[in-house]
Amino acid sequence: MDHKPAALGPVPWRRAAGAWLVVALGALAPRVAQAAEPEKPVVAAGDTATATPAASAVTPTVPSAPNVDSATPAVPDPSLASASAARNNDSFSGEASSDATADSFTSQDGGEAEQQHRLDLYGFADFTYTRLLIPKSSVWNRIYFPTNSFSVGNFNLYLSSNLGAGWRALGEVRFLYLPNGSTHPDSTTGDDTRTDTTVLDYAGFEEPIHWGGIRIERVWVEHEFSTLAKLQVGQFLTPYGIWNVDHGSPAVIGIRRPFAVSDELFPEHQVGLQLYGNTFFDPVEVGYHLTLSNGRTPVEYEDFDDNKAVGARLYAKTDAVGSLTVGASFYRGGYYDRSAKYVVLDHDGVTVADKQYTTISKYQELSLGADVKWQWKRLLVQGEAIVNEARFSHGTDSRPRVPAVVGPQGFQPDYRRWGAYGLIGYRTHIVQTMPYFILQYVFAPDDPIVPPVLGAQFGLNIQPTPGVVFKVEYTYTKLGPNPGSIGLGLSPLRILASQVAWAF
Amino acid sequence: MARLDIPRDRLKNGAFHGARRAFRRRFMGLLWVPGVLLLLLLLLLLLPGAERAAKASDRIVLGVIVARGSSVQDLSLAELKRIFTNEGDSDPSGARYLPFNHPPHTADRVAFDRLVLGMSPDEVSQFWIERKIRGLSGPPRTVDSLSLLLRLIGRLPGGVSYARPGQLTPEVRAIRVNGKLPSDPGYPLTFSD
């Protein structure tokens, strides 16, 4: 089926966006230099100097002496001694020291004052056991991975710092066992080759060890001009919906991401610029995100066709009826992948080396999404619906081959995919246990391999203490009604999984 | 036919009468049970009133404080919630509010979080964990010493915190919350210790 999305026309104007990007970064450069200068303490320790208004700062420039993170000032403050007479008013001094660990993840908080450049390290991790509840004969036992195994799935580390004067930086990296163990099926031979990263450890007795990888989830620096305008540059999570931004296993309710999210109907990350902000029209908060990026690319740091992607998100939130957030998201961009080879050319009698490119895949895509999240007392209801369509450039050169069990291979048609999920849960008082139910559906009529998927997940999300979450989840996935080109739809998939996720 | 002649005193003090007395002792003696229950019920009915009365006398008021020279006069509970969840809010001059918190699990902090954020201490911790995982800014700064907190608020334009009215220093002042001063009836930030 060949959809011709009318919205996906030529986009020469977006090529000019690259130039805009350079201008924007140029404008930011002086501010970066300014931020790099050491912060001057505005109020000296214990003296009576006048505090400079920190109006323009997200993080206040506070007296350098009082270490507001600890029970005792970092620098002796004579005025505190003189104020000891007033200490009978110090109702909470020392009360909380034994309990302060409850906020330890929040690092007692924020490094906003004198430690402008303090680096906050925190993160999350999870450990999962997955078991398939299907007959031994089911094909899923062979192709689903990992099955009946313990696994550490995410080990994400955040590095965040308030740089002062409205600047903030954040990095998030995920440590991976991959590429060890990853498999690469060969559609022509059927071979499924496993990557082996075994090397001999030179630091020991050359014991064999496996090396893993690091994935950059996001890394950006942000400047807040006002609450209405904050500019991020770097790599960021695409601001759409709910799940993609929540994304950390202790923050999301279920164990598995809904298919509509994991299938990346919107790209998960983007490298570029993000402008966002919010304002309040009591009792409603209205916020927006605007993005300009390389878009979906085979290489994160290179945009092969200089065709920038644009995106937007608009949301409204109110606490008038519980906490209700309604949002809509948009993304439009191009994808271009190519292979290259060096060639030797004769250029006016001079032999020069040049590079020739062959298009592997090239298309324009449009994604639209809508989301709603409602928290009323202990009830949580949330849902997202997303549609994504792609139109390949003219000719077959831009269309990749589609693997087929029974040949001949065809070319990838233009396609439209859509998916939706809904979640309902209720957090009880019993060990903060939330029974939840997720219903989801994804449909890609132009994908010959994967039939429509209807999934249901029942589970328990238990929070014995803030930062630690136990999850038990049963997933039933029905594929069909057609079996798909490789027969995936013939067998339903039932999964029982348990997970412990923790923030640190 | 012999006549069964039972003397009257025997009848009066005899086995039959003894059984009746025993019955009366056994069951009528239990009459104290409903009496006690009634008394307990009365106590239960009266105690909450007494407790309420006691609580009314122990009511603690939290004033929302700013620097004495600040132009901020009134904040709604919704605005306070936004300020103390770092969702970004500005004072009338356009300056961003700078919230400062009491340490976790102190009485005033727990009460403030419950009254303003609507969260228990564990829920507050979870809230900030999830927010930081999303990559958003962290919680307001906590200050372990009240005198230090009052000095900070007194010197920092945009600084906002809370304290009991009796604890205020000349550098700070309490503002209205939802249009009410701490001394006004119906002031929203009151709790029992």
Q: Quick one: pLDDT at residue A411?
A: 83
Q: Are residues B19 and B75 both part of a single domain?
A: no
Task: Answer whether A454's CB lies under 8 Å from A477's CB.
Answer: yes
- A316 forms bridges with which residues in the sheet? A286, A326
The residue in chain B having the minimum alpha-carbon distance to the alpha carbon of residue A230 is B88
CB A270 within 8 A of CB A238: yes
CA distance A65 to A369: 49
Contact B156 A69 (CB under 8 A): no
Interface of B with A in 84-103 (CB under 8 A): 87-90, 93-96, 98, 100-103
> Judging by DSSP bridges, how do beta strands A183-185 and A192-194 pair with one another?
antiparallel
Residue A104 lies in a domain: no
A382: phi then psi, degrees, rounded to nearest 5: -150, 155
B37 with B128, same domain: the answer is: no
A468 part of a folded domain:
yes
In chain B, how many domains are there?
2
B146 and A CB contact within 8 Å: yes
How far are the Cα atoms of A88, A276, A285 from residue A288, in angstroms, in the given order? 47, 5, 10
The gap from C-alpha A5 to its chain's centroid, in whole angstroms, comes to 28
| Low-confidence winner among A365-379, A389-403, B137-151 (lowest mean pLDDT) | A389-403
Interface of A with B in 289-318 (CB under 8 A): none
Residue B1 lies in a domain: no
**Rg of chain A (C-alpha set):** 27
Q: 């999305």: which residue's tokens? A: A5
> Does residue B12 share a domain with residue B25?
yes
Longest CA pairwise span in chain B (Å): 118
Q: What is the rounded distance in angstroms from the CA atom of residue B64 to the CA atom of residue A54?
A: 20
Q: What is the mean pLDDT of chain A?
A: 79
Same domain, B67 and B83: yes
- Is residue A177 within 8 Å of A155, Cβ to Cβ? no
Q: Which residue has the tokens 């805009």?
A: A20
Q: Which of A57, A102, A319 sits opposite B125 (nearest CB)?
A: A102
Is B71 part of any domain?
yes
- If one compares B92 and A256, the residue with the highest pLDDT of the two is A256
Which pLDDT belongs to residue B31? Answer: 64
CB of B135 closer than 8 Å to CB of B86: no
Query: Do B87 and B22 fall within a single domain?
Result: no
Q: Which residue has the tokens 């050359």?
A: A206
Sign of CA pseudo-dihedral A27, A30, A35, A40: negative
Q: E strands within A249-378?
A: 269-281, 284-293, 309-318, 323-347, 350-376
The answer to whether residue A441 is domain-embedded is yes
Q: Which two tokens stand for residue B76?
A: 């709604």
CA distance A500 to A154: 11
As a whole number of angstroms, the distance between CA A493 and CA A256 comes to 14
Tokens of A442: 């994804």
For the ranges A25-29, A299-303, A372-376, the maximum mean pLDDT occurs at A372-376
Instruction: Give domain status of residue A489, yes or no.
Output: yes
Q: For A396, which DSSP code?
A: S
Contact state of B135 with A95 under an 8 Å Cβ cutoff: no
Please indicate whether, in this complex, the C-beta atoms of A227 and B133 are within 8 angstroms of each other: no
| pLDDT tens column, A423-466 | 999 999 999 999 999 999 999 888 777 788 999 999 999 999 99
Q: Please check the confidence at residue A335 and state whether its pLDDT lies above 60.
A: yes
Do residues B75 and B87 share a domain? yes
Q: Is residue B180 part of a domain?
A: yes
The residues, any chain, with a CB within 8 Å of residue A320's CB and separated by 6 or more, are A283, A284
> Beta A350-376 vs A323-347: how paired, if at all?
antiparallel
**Pairing mode, if any, of strands B172-177 and B74-75?**
parallel
Considering the domain boundaries, does residue B3 fall inside one? no
**Residue B173 DSSP SS3:** strand
Q: Would B163 be classed as within a structural domain?
A: yes
Contacts of A80 in chain B (CB under 8 A): 145, 147-148
Dist. CA B48–CA A470, nearest whole Å: 39
Residue A467 lies in a domain: yes
Phi and psi angles of residue B119, each rounded to the nearest 5 degrees, phi first: -130, 150
Considering the domain architecture, whether residues B108 and B148 belong to the same structural domain is answered as: yes
* pLDDT value for A87: 40
Question: Is B168 inside any structural domain?
Answer: yes
Chain A partners of B152 at a C-beta cutoff of 8 Å? 62-63, 66, 68
A440, A455 in Cβ contact below 8 A?
A: yes
> Is there a contact between B130 and A158 if contact means CB atoms under 8 Å apart?
no
Q: Give how far Cα A151 sits from Cα of A156, A172, A197, B176, Å.
A: 15, 21, 18, 54
Per the domain annotation, does A106 fall within a domain? no
Chain A stretch 33-52, residues whose beta carbon is closer than 8 A to a beta carbon of chain B: 43, 50-51
Confidence at residue A160, expressed as pLDDT on a 0 to 100 scale: 94
Judge whether B120 is closer than 8 Å to chain A, CB to CB: no
Residue B15 lies in a domain: yes
User: Which H/E stretch holds residue A475?
Assistant: strand A468-479
**Domain span at B39:** 8-57
- pLDDT over 90 for what percent of chain A? 54
Same domain? For B92 and B17 the reply is no
Could you tell me the two tokens for B135? 């990559």
Asked if residue B7 has a cis previous peptide bond (ω within 30° of 0), the answer is: no
The answer to whether the CB atoms of B108 and A73 lie below 8 A apart is: no
Residue B24 sits in the same domain as residue B76: no
Asked if A39 contacts A60 with a C-beta cutoff of 8 angstroms, the reply is: no
**Residue A343: φ, ψ to 5°:** -135, 155
User: A102: which 2 tokens?
Assistant: 């409850």
Residue A51 has pLDDT above 60, yes or no: no
Are A417 and A233 a contacting pair, CB within 8 Å?
no
Pick the residue with more confidence: A187 or A330?
A330
Given B40, B57, B74, the domain boundary residue is B57
Note whether B179 contacts A: Cβ–Cβ < 8 A: no
Q: Work out how many CB contacts closer than 8 A connect A with B.
A: 211
Cα dihedral B173→B177→B181→B187 (10° resolution): -140
> Domain holding B184: CATH number?
3.40.190.10
What average pLDDT does this structure show over A42-65? 35
Tell me which residue range forms the domain holding A290: 118-153+216-331+367-503
pLDDT of A73 over the 80 cut: no
In a domain, B2, yes or no: no
Number of domains chain A is built from: 1
Residue A403 pLDDT exceeds 80? no
Residue A161 lies in a domain: no
Q: How do A269-281 and A229-237 pair as beta strands?
A: antiparallel
Query: Does B71 have pLDDT greater than 50?
Result: yes
Write out the E strands in A213-283.
213-226, 229-237, 269-281
Which residue bears the tokens 């309990």? Answer: A99
- Domain-terminating residue out of B21, B38, B57: B57
SS (H, E, C) B116-185: HHCCCHHHHHHHHHHHHHCCCCCCCEECCCHHHHHHHHHHCCCEEEEECHHHCCCCEEEEEECCECCCCC
Contacts of B140 in chain A (CB under 8 A): 109-110, 112
| Residue A172 forms part of a structural domain | no
Say if residue B43 is in the same domain as residue B72: no
Phi-psi region at A108: left, alpha or beta (left = phi > 0; alpha = psi -120 to 50) = left
3-class DSSP assignment, residue A459: strand
Q: Which residues of A touch B87 (CB under 8 A)?
A: 278, 285
- Top pLDDT among A491 and A486 is at A491
CATH of the domain at A466: 2.40.160.10
At A167-207, the pLDDT tens digits run 999 999 999 999 999 998 887 787 889 999 999 999 989 99
Instruction: Judge if B50 and B66 occupy the same domain.
Output: no
Contact by Cβ (8 Å): A305, A285: no
Token code pair at residue A504 = 């640190």
Residues in chain A: 504
Its pTM stands at: 0.76
